[in-house]
Amino acid sequence: MKKYFFTILLLLSGGIMILGQTSDPLVSSCVMNAGPNSKYLKDFRIQLGKAPASGDFRYKAQISLWKNTKYKFTQCNADDSKGKLVLSVRDDANKIVLSSFDQKSGKIYSYIEFICNKSGIYTLNYDFLDGQKGSAVGVVSMVR
């Protein structure tokens, strides 16, 4: 009787673990794009409609970063996305410390690396260039 009980318990827990895995292919491919020397920390799924006017970033999240640690921020757009995802990272003084958009050249980088100089809470600001609508994912990884 105990043998059957443990077998059923093992099957149920295995089924629950399988259902708990991510099934979002965009997140999975973006995590893989971060590279083999990166350790996945967190992902942000962003889906925004067209903005009436381009202005402040519409998707904001906070994350704790540690001093002397190298981070990689990877952005991946969905195939049907009209806009290109842009990331801006601000420190606790609301100063921009990092951006995936180079205003001089107009280039948007699919990933950016950052060596944190000060531990603290940082704000990740995501939006699509020119307020376009779109769907994307942002992945934060630690580089070894």
The domain that holds 77 is classified in CATH as: 2.60.120.380
- Among 18-22, 29-33, 91-95, which is the least confidently predicted range? 18-22
Domain assignment present for residue 90? The answer is yes
Domain assignment present for residue 45? The answer is yes
Domain assignment present for residue 17? The answer is no
Check residue 8 and give its pLDDT.
Answer: 57
Mean pLDDT of 61-86: 95
pLDDT digits (tens, 9 = 90+) for 29-67: 899 988 889 999 999 999 999 988 767 899 999 999 999
- The count of C-alpha atoms lying within 13 angstroms of the C-alpha of 52, restricted to the half-sphere facing its C-beta, is 0
Domain assignment present for residue 103? The answer is yes
Q: How far apart are CA 91 and CA 122, in angstroms?
A: 5
Domain assignment present for residue 9? The answer is no
Nearest residue to 75 (alpha-carbon basis) of 39, 104, 99: 99
Domain assignment present for residue 58? The answer is yes
Q: Cβ(116)–Cβ(59) under 8 Å?
A: no
Q: Where in the sequence is the domain holding 102, given as residue range(s)?
A: 24-143
Check residue 19 and give its pLDDT.
Answer: 43
Taken as a whole, the chain contains a residue count of 144
Domain assignment present for residue 133? The answer is yes
Confidence of residue 16 (pLDDT cuts 50, 70, 90): very low
Q: Does the global pTM surpass 0.85?
A: no
Number of domains present in the structure of the chain: 1
As a whole number, the mean pLDDT across the chain is 87
Domain assignment present for residue 2? The answer is no
- Regarding predicted confidence, which is higher, 115 or 3? 115
Mean pLDDT of 14-27: 61
Check residue 56 and give its pLDDT.
Answer: 86
Q: How far apart are CA 138 and CA 113, in angstroms?
A: 13
